[in-house]
Structures are given as structure tokens and as C-alpha cells.
Amino acid sequence: MDTRFSPMTTTTVSPHPEYSIAVFSDPSTLNAILKAVLHTIFFHRYFTNVRPSTQNILHLTLPYVEAPELNQLIDTRIHQLNRQLNSTSGPGTSIRGGIGVQFFERKRRLSTAETTMMNLFGIRPGDGATEDVCWETWRVEVTLAIPRTQEEQKKVTKAMETSLKRTVMKIIATANANTDHIPPIHTQEINPFPYQIILNPKNGNGM
Amino acid sequence: MHQFPRSPPATASPAQSSRTNPTRTNNPREPGSPARAISSGTNTPVLSDEPTFSAAHSTTAEEKDVIQRLNKTIQNLFYKAALLILQDRLELPPAYTQKTNQPRVNKWFSLDVPESDVLLPDVRVWRNFDVSVASQPPIMIVDLRISSKDLKDNQTLVVTDEFGKTRYVEDAVKSYYESLGQDFKPGFDIVVERWQFDLDGFTSQFPKNLVSILPKTYKNAVVLFRALFSMLHLLPAWSLSRKSDIGAKSRSLPKLSYRIYEKSQRSLEPGLDGLHIPLPDSDNQELEDYIFETLDTPAGKFKIKVSYRKNCDFQLQTSEATISSRIDESDLFKPSLRRQSNEFEPLLQDLMPPPRRSSRQILQDADQAQQAYGSLSTYHLAGRPIASSPLSTLRAVGAARELNTASPRDSPPSKLLPEHRNVQDSHETPRSEAMPRNIRRTSVTFSPFKSPSLSASPSHLSGEHLPVPQVVPVVGNRSSALTALAEARNPGFNPHTSNFSSTVPTSSTTPLSASPRPTSRHSASYAHRRSQNSLNLGRDDDLGGSSRTSPRPGTAEGNASSGSLNADDDNISEFLKMLDNKKELKSFRSPSESGLAESSARRTSAALSRYSRLRDSNAILSDSVSSSVLGHRSSTSSSRQLSSVPAMVGGASLSTASSPGERMSPRTPHTPAIPSRLSANSIVDHNAHRERNVGMTIPGNEASEGRAESVQSPGIGAIDIPSSPRVYQTTYRRPSSVAQQRLMRFGDDDLGDIAPFENRSTSLGGNREREPLSLSRMLASQDEANAGLIAGPTNQAIESAPMSRQRSTSSQDESGYNIGSSSRGAYRARVASRGHLGRHGSSTSLAGERGSASGGSDSRGGRYSFQRSRDNEDEELLFAMSDFGVAQQGRRSLEEAGRGNNTQT
């Protein structure tokens, strides 16, 4: 009777979906493009109630998540990536870099004693008893083009527009098509899933 | 039992069924059964092997609560989707809370969207959906559309395609409906986006763990709606939203409206759906679909699909801009054509009454016709604006042509166009709408003016369908030349066209005598002529290359003539009657005129001889021309017939008639070679031939007069050697495109621009005959001729030539008709008088004149002589027309007579 639909179980070790997104940009537009891509990703994984808003970039209108903390984190990471790319870039070269976005499910990892304490005395375990388990990773692979002439700049700009739209469409389709692994949501008041934005994620789930 | 295939609940199912039947009128089982069958096949993962319960039989409060939650979820899947889309695309009025008077926000699926009550009536079906009661909910369709009802009176919706080409939406819709054979009613309803929401595989049999399933459904719905929101701004229709920063600021956006309905409610006729109406003229597929990920719910699979137009570059144009653009492009010509078409019928009926159609009207008609051609040409070129195209064509033709064409156009159009537009527009629009495509097409073909580029098709069209005028009306309708063309093609016009063709020949004759008759016919004929004249401009060039150009004209003429021969015969018979009636008049007048004619004939003969001498150098060309002429005669039945017709009229006329016919034929064979002017000429020739034939028959007098005139003119021309040959040439061309030339002359006379036209014609003719026919040569020759003509002497020569002709004719006809008006007025008067005089008196006097003329031509010998004589005749016809014209004619005639005498002497 009470057979419950068992939501997708998350284990700390189990592999999780990882999606790769390609971004093509020139240095001057990189910040805006990365911001747009990251916001698009978060918009589809940020389960808090939001008042949908948008941002315009390269003739595209893309979703924007109005969350100060998130915005700050995104800006910080983009700035860091820019510095990294600038340090290795040169005219006429194309540089690669990456940003990873990870979503976690916060679980309480209870020891037997803690479980007993909770059951018997209602004592909540401390913070150390929680565990964040990554359930999804997005890898944003950045290709930075540095045009030397105006003609190249035009080509790059056009390629950026095309690439950005393709990327966004891919994010939307991927995020919408892969939902079974999303942990159950227990609250709408706060963001149920912690997240991380890291530079140059490693291949594989280990980031 | 069979309805509930699953075993565990099986026991319960019968009970449920028993319960439901008595309590609910809507037995869920029946409707539900098919859904269950589907669901059993597609079993959602949740249901597999899980104990289930029926929504209708939920016993416990918990089950009822869960069912209620599921209901809300399903209801909001539909409603929130529609709300989100419409709030994003439109400006929906907000809804307020009753107590706090604060805007209400719909927070379903973690997406805050302002509520709006305006949707409630439209989505009632889905908002009241109950999984325990209803069967599968209907498919919800949300159309975002642009309706003509939402446009203001002064607004026009246009769409710009990927190539930057703008098209009027209503025209596109109209043409599309016509292509489907559907009646087009003004207005349109273009769907730019169609959203479809469906709960597929509906089931009311839920697993016992429904409570635990719902959160996942909700979570996935959150993602789905986020994706929906994101996609909303990537679809082309987003640019139509006033919330969009992309499109709203750069253009005047049309108002979007929406329509929510059940898919089953509307069974749109295939092809007539506002979503599938093709707008841009491109082969690219205009529609695309995007299907969102299916959302599994306990009650079925929720699917979202959107079909959208890839090109949503719509914008509004104000009527001013639209009118100006259209006028510039196409409208100018339309009005005249329409008018002619409108007038035509009555005119045909009232052939006899010499119209009150003032010379002006006739001229206007001619101008209009030209314009129409221009419009047509435009159509051919760009498929858009008529005006532009003609201009461009003219430019392309060459400076000489430009001068010629420009003068006719400019002078008459400027004056005439506005009026015509007004009148014609009103008339034309209805017709255009009513016009079938066939007519439009024909009209399109007509556009002969562009003949150079279009030459072949237009020539045929022109030859066959005088309908051009009709076409013009079509063009007048509005929009792009395309529509005009389409309208022109309309079969409805064909009758008219046929009439025109038939009438045209008559009219051609009529032009001379035309005025009396049916203004309509005459006008039409004039229109044709003028149109042809415009062509003639081109023809002038062709004249030189007559042999080359002749082929086309021959074909076109043959076609047109064949088609209209019967009608022509009828018309001819009528004309003959007319002539008979009027002969008396002429006879009265004739004596003096005859004398004049004779003198003129002598003069002409002398001039012709001179010309022949001059042309001796061009003997080769003449040979070719003669051969071509002969071939034409033999080949083109129409020309022959026409010639025969004149024979009917009178022996004298016959000779002249035959000559023109011959001329026509030669041109026709050669015409094809030369694309531009020649083609145009050829086209003109077709009409002209008919007209000529008619004119020859009827106006035999005119022809004779024309000869006399030509004689005089030559005399005049003799003074100006270059001009005189030109004049002859013009006459030559005129024979082929006599009507046109006449029109041109008329227009010139009226406008005082005669000189340029004549110059053109003359120059063209000379050039043509001499030169073999390359377009470049033609153009160059034209240019030269124009330059020379324009330079100064041309005007005089031209004027003198026509004047002389006119004078001679006028001397004949004018005796009765001279009104003594200005040159323009004279032309007009001429037209009118021609109608009367030409037909009536011309027969007698003309016959005599013709005879003389023919003799002169013969003496001159040769093909040229014939051609020239014909040309002269054509010119004579024109002159006759002019002669009828009063004042100028009178003046000019006097002067010319003097000149002619001088020259002769």
C-alpha cells in the first residue's frame, strides 16, 4: 500500500551526469557570454521561486537569475578565468579554459550513535554530519579567439552569436531532458541544492 | 472489468464502476477506457505494477487530497503555460487581490508570473479539469497572431524576408488564397506562433504512491517551465513582443493578439490556416516546430509543442509611407489601366458617341497604359514597385530611350497620373480584388515596356491582351507589382483583353477616327498605343533592328492578331459602317483635303525618295528588312488580315494598310533578336499591327493623311536631313507600333514633348534600318538620334514632321474639326476629331491619299518604300489624329504645309 516512489537515490560516490558546453568568444565579450551561459544553467537548476528576468547579449535574450550571492560568485569566477586566460593569451592565438558548475544535494550523514540520539532524544546532529553529494556537473569549455583584424573580428562576432545561441539551446534541451537524477526538493524557500563554480574542472566526476 | 486490466485493483474496479455509474452522469469509464488502454500500453513508470486507485473512487481523505493536488497540478500545467506565454508576448491586464489590492502573482512551478483574469474565460475548460471526472482533457491551442483587424486604417503590415525584401502581408495572403482557388476576403489573420498543450495518455488510475510521485512531477514541471521561459525568448516571435529590447525599439511593431481554443473546436481548412500562409517569396520553409521534453505526470504525459514562423520580421507601415512606396512603385500605372478597363466596356457599347473623352483623357489613358506597362515592367523586374521598374528599364534602355520615354511619361504622367490615380484607384481596387489571377498574369506579361528584358513574354501578352490597361487597374489595387501582375493575370480580364485586342485594332483605327467612337475603345486603343508607344520608344531602336526585332513582334502579333482577329473583324465591320457614315462627311470635306492629301502625297513621295536615296547606303539592311517584311506578311496572318481589312475599307486604304501590315510582319520576325527595344517594339507591333490594321482600314484616311503628312514631314525633314530620316523611321516604327507612336506623339503634342518622342522615333527608325540590330547599337543609335533630336533641330523637326503631318491631315480633317487649341489641345482635339473625322472622312480622302502615298512609296521602291509608306501611314494616322486635333494642328498644319511646300518645292 505504501509503496513509495523511491526518488532517485543519491550516493556520495555514485557517478553523476556531466554535461559539456562549448563557449566561443573573444576577450572583450567573454565576460558577458560566460555570464549568460552560467545564468542559463542556473536558471534551469535553481529551484527557488524566481521572478523570471532576462538579459540581452549578442542579440539574444537569455534568462537571468536574480540571486545576489549567485551573481557575485559568477562574477568572481569569470574574473578569475579572465585573468588566467589573459596570462596565457597572445595575439592571434586561441586559448582554452573552462569553468565547472556543480550541484549538490546536502545530506546528513548520520552515524549509528547519531541516529540513535535523534530517535531517542531528538538531538540534531551537528554540521559536520552533513554531506554534499554532487548530482550534476556542467563543464563550460571556453575557446578564446583573439582577432587581429576587423574582418576577423566580424567573423568572430558572428561566430560568437551563432555559438552562443547553440550553446543556450543545448543547455535548455539538456536541462529539460535530464531531470530524473535531480534530488527531491523539500523546500521552496531556499535553494535546495548547494552549488559550486570552479575553474578548470578536471575531466570526470571528480572535477 | 476489461476496463481495468490491472489485477490488484481489479476487484475494486468493478465496484468503482458500479459506484461511478449511478453518481456521475459522466461515466469516466467509457471515456476513460480508451485512455486507459493507451496508458496501459504506455504505462507510466509510476503505475507499473503498483497498486492503483481510481480518482473517482478515492475513499480516504488523503487520497482525495492527493487527487486534488494532482488536479491542481494538471490544471496549472495548462493554465500557467498559457499565462507565461501570453504575459511574455503580450501586455495582459494585471489581476489584483481583493483585500490588499496588490497584483496577484502566480507562483506555480517556482516561477512568479503576474496573474491576469482575462485568460480565465478562455482556459476555463482546463482550469476546471478534474482527473476524477473528465476524460482526457482537450488539447489546448494558443495562437499568437497578427490580425488585420488590429491594424489601424492607415497602417499596413509588411514582412521583410531574409534578403531584406519587403512584402505586403495582405498581398501575400491574397495571392496565396488565389493560388488555392479560394475567395479572398480583405483582411488576414497571420499566426506567428502556435502553442499546443496536450495531456497524452490520460489515465485516472493512479498508483497508491501518488503522494510521493507528485513532488517529482512538480520538480520536473519547474524545469519544464524554466525551459519554456527560456525558449520564449529564443523564438522569432519574441522580437514582436514589446517587452523585447531587440525588436521593439527599431521598428513599428504590429499588435499581437492571442486566441486560446480547443484543437477539436477548429477544423481549419488545410492551407487556409493563418499559420501556414506563406508570406515571404522564398522557397525556404517558413515554419519550424520545437517540441519540449515530455513531462510525465500521474495522469498522463504533458506535451508542449510550438510551431512558429521563422521569419517574424513584421512591421507596420503607415499609409503614407505605403502609399508613397506603392505609388512610386506600382500604383502610378495601375490607375490608368483600371480606368481604361472600366471605361472600356461602356465605350465599347457606345462606340459611336465620340467621346467626350477629351483628348486629355485619351492621352491620360495612353499615359496610363504606358504607366501600366511600366508597372508591368516593374513587376517583371522586381515583382514589386511598378514605377521603379519602368524607370529602371528606361535607364537601362539608354539615354536616348530615357529621353523619349521619360518625356512621354514625365509630361503626361505628371499631369495625368494624379487624376487617374484617384479615379482609377477607386475603380481598380475592386476589380483587382475581383480579378482572377489569369488576368493578372496576362497583365504581367503585358508589361511590354520592359520589353528589352521581358521582351518575349511581354510582347505576347501585349499582342494578345490589350488587357494591359486592365492590368493596370489591377496594379492600382495596391500593393506590389506582383499583385498587380497577378491581377492582370486574372482570367476575368481576359475577356476584356480579348475585347481590347479586338477593340484595339479597331481602336488603332479608331485612334485616328477613334475619338468619335467609343471613347472607351479609343481610349483603350490609345492606351494600348501609348503603351505601345512607350514600347515604341524602345521600338525606335527596334526600327533600326526591325529585321531583328521583327521575329518577336511577328509572333506576338500573330498571337494577338489571331486571338483578336474575329473581334477585329467585327470591329472592323463596325468601323466600316462608321466610315461609311462618315465618308459622307469626309467627302464633303475631302475635296480640299484630297487636294491637300495629294500634295502631301507628292511631298511624301519626294521625301521618301530622298530617304530611299539616303538609305541606299543601307541597302543591305533594307534587303534584310524587306525580306523580313515579306516573311512577316506571309507569316503573320494578323498583318495580312489587317491589310485585308483596310482593303475592305477602301482601295487607297488598302495599299496603305498592306504596307503597314507588311511592316508589321517584318518586324515581328526580326524582333526576337533584339531584346530590349526591339522586343518592346515587337510587342508594340502586335498591338500596333492590329491597331494599324484597324487604323489603316478605318483611318485609311488617316493613313493617307499620314502619308500626306509624311510627305510634308519629309519635306520638313528634308531641311533637317537627320531629323527627316528619323521621322520616317519613326513612321516606320510607328507602322509597327504606330499606335504607340501616335500615342507618344499625342502625348508629346499635348505635353509639348512631341519633339523628344519624334526624335526618338525618328532616330530609332533611322538607326534601326541602318544598323543590324545589336542592342548596343540600337541604344547607341538611339542615343545619338536622341541627342541630335533633342539637341534642337529634333524638336523642330519632330514637331515639324508631326505638325506637317498633322497639318496635312488637319488640313483635311481639320477643315471640319480644327478647334484651334494649343498643341496639346490639338492632340486631344485630334483624338476626338479623329474619332469622328478619321473614321468618317478619312475613308474617302484617305483612300485617295493612300493611293498617292502608296504610289509614292512604290516609286521609291522597295521595301523601304513600303515600310516607309507604312510608317508614313502610321504616322499619318497619328498625324490624322493630330490633324483632327485642332489648334496646333491647324497652326502646325499651316506651318508645316508651308514647310512641306517649301521642302517639296
> Which residues on chain B are in Cβ contact (under 8 Å) with A4?
209, 212
- So what's the ipTM on this one? 0.87
Contact predicate A192/A62, CB 8 Å: no
For chain A, helix, strand, coil in percent to 5 are: 40, 25, 35
CA distance A189 to chain B (A): 10
pLDDT in tens, B638-690: 333 343 344 343 333 333 333 333 344 344 444 444 444 444 444 444 444 44
Kindly state the percentage of chain A with pLDDT values over 70: 78
**pLDDT given for residue B900 in this prediction:** 43
Burial state string for A78-105 with b = 16 or more CB within 10 A and e = fewer than 16: bebbbeebeeebeeeeebebbbbbbbbb
Contact predicate B497/B442, CB 8 Å: yes
Total domains in the fold of chain A: 1
**pLDDT given for residue B91 in this prediction:** 81
- Among B47, B59, B106, B230, the strongest candidate for a mutation testing the A interface, having the largest count of A CBs within 10 A, is B230
> Which residues on chain A are in Cβ contact (under 8 Å) with B226?
43-44, 63, 175-176
Give the whole-angstrom CA distance, residue B814 versus residue B850: 18
> Which residues on chain B are in Cβ contact (under 8 Å) with A185?
215, 218-219, 222
Residue A39's contacts (CB-CB under 8 Å, 6 or more residues apart) are A55, A62, A63, A64, A65, A74
User: CB A3 to CB B50 under 8 A?
Assistant: yes
**pLDDT given for residue B55 in this prediction:** 63
Give the whole-angstrom CA distance, residue A40 versus residue B266: 37
Torsion, CA A18, CA A24, CA A28, CA A30, rounded to 10: -10
Q: How many Cβ atoms sit within 10 Å of the Cβ of residue A150?
A: 8
Q: Is residue A153 part of a domain?
A: yes
Q: Is residue A7 part of a domain?
A: no
pLDDT in tens, B813-860: 433 333 333 334 333 333 333 433 333 433 333 333 343 333 333 334
pLDDT in tens, B94-112: 888 888 888 888 888 888 9
Q: How many Cβ atoms sit within 10 Å of the Cβ of residue B124?
A: 12
Give the whole-angstrom CA distance, residue B689 versus residue A205: 88
Mean pLDDT of B852-872: 39
CA distance A93 to chain B (A): 31
Q: How many Cβ atoms sit within 10 Å of the Cβ of residue B48?
A: 9
Give the whole-angstrom CA distance, residue B484 versus residue B1: 67
Q: Is residue A50 part of a domain?
A: yes
- Among A55, A168, A172, the strongest candidate for a mutation testing the B interface, having the largest count of B CBs within 10 A, is A172
Query: For residue B891, which of B756, B760, B791, B799 has the smallest C-alpha distance?
Result: B799
Please provide the DSSP assignment of B640-708 as one string.
HHHHHHHHHH-HHHHHHHHHHHHHHHHHHHHGGG-TTHHHHHHHHHHHHHHHHHHHHHTTHHHHHHHHH
**pLDDT given for residue B380 in this prediction:** 38
> Which residues on chain B are in Cβ contact (under 8 Å) with A175?
223, 226-227
For residue A83, the enclosing domain spans: 18-103+133-199
pLDDT at A111 > cutoff 80: no
What ranges make up the beta strands (E) of B275-402? 287-291, 295-297, 300-309, 314-318
Contact predicate B463/B559, CB 8 Å: yes
**pLDDT given for residue B386 in this prediction:** 35
By C-alpha distance, the chain A residue nearest B247 is: A59
Counting beta carbons within 10 angstroms of the beta carbon of residue B843, is it exposed (0 to 12), middle (13 to 18) or buried (19 or more)? buried
pLDDT in tens, B430-483: 333 333 333 333 333 343 344 344 433 333 333 333 333 333 333 333 333 333
Torsion, CA B661, CA B663, CA B665, CA B670, rounded to 10: -170
User: CB A49 to CB B246 under 8 A?
Assistant: no
Cell for A12? Answer: 556520495
Sign of the C-alpha dihedral, residues B374, B379, B380, B382? positive
Which of B326-330, B371-375, B487-491, B826-830 has the highest average model confidence (pLDDT)?
A: B326-330
Query: For residue A136, which of A177, A102, A179 has the smallest C-alpha distance?
Result: A102
Has domain B40-312 been given CATH number 3.30.900.10?
yes
If residue B144 lies in a helix (H) or strand (E), which one and from where to where?
Answer: strand B140-147
**pLDDT given for residue B238 in this prediction:** 87
List every span in chain B annotated with CATH 3.30.900.10: 40-312
Smallest Cβ–Cβ distance between A172 and the set B46, B213, B231 belongs to B231
CA distance A33 to chain B (A): 16
CA distance B83 to chain A (A): 13
User: CB A185 to CB B219 under 8 A?
Assistant: yes
Smallest Cβ–Cβ distance between A59 and the set B208, B223, B246 belongs to B246
Query: For residue B214, which of B357, B340, B72, B349 has the smallest C-alpha distance?
Result: B72
Mean pLDDT of B272-300: 78
pLDDT at B228 > cutoff 90: yes
CA distance B225 to chain A (A): 9
Smallest Cβ–Cβ distance between A5 and the set B46, B226, B231 belongs to B46
> Which residues on chain B are in Cβ contact (under 8 Å) with A188?
110
SS3 B298: coil
Angle made by CA atoms A123, A126, A131, in degrees to the nearest 5: 120
Q: Is residue A163 part of a domain?
A: yes
User: CB A177 to CB B293 under 8 A?
Assistant: yes
Give A100's strand partners: A139, A198
Q: For residue B771, which phi and psi values (nearest 5 degrees)?
A: -80, 150
CA distance A85 to chain B (A): 30
Count of CB contacts below 8 A, A vs B? 98
pLDDT in tens, B293-313: 999 888 888 999 999 988 888
The residue type at A184? P
pLDDT in tens, B697-750: 333 344 334 343 333 433 343 444 443 444 434 334 444 334 333 433 333 333
The residue type at A123? I
> Which residues on chain A are in Cβ contact (under 8 Å) with B51?
1, 3
CA distance B293 to chain A (A): 6
Give the whole-angstrom CA distance, residue A51 versus residue A66: 8
User: CB A3 to CB B51 under 8 A?
Assistant: yes
Confidence of residue B607 (pLDDT cuts 50, 70, 90): low
- Domain CATH for A144: 3.30.900.10
Please provide the DSSP assignment of B88-141 as one string.
HHS-PPP-B-TTT-PBPEE-GGGB-EE--GGGTTTTHHHHT--TTT--SPPPEE
Alpha helices in A11-149 (DSSP H): 27-43, 68-88, 112-121
Return the higher-pLDDT residue of B269 and B208.
B208
Task: For chain B, give the mean pLDDT.
Answer: 53
Q: For residue A198, which phi and psi values (nearest 5 degrees)?
A: -125, 155
Q: Is residue A141 part of a domain?
A: yes
Q: Is residue A124 part of a domain?
A: no
**pLDDT given for residue B628 in this prediction:** 56
User: CB B111 to CB A43 under 8 A?
Assistant: no
pLDDT at A41 > cutoff 70: yes
Give the whole-angstrom CA distance, residue B552 versus residue B671: 4
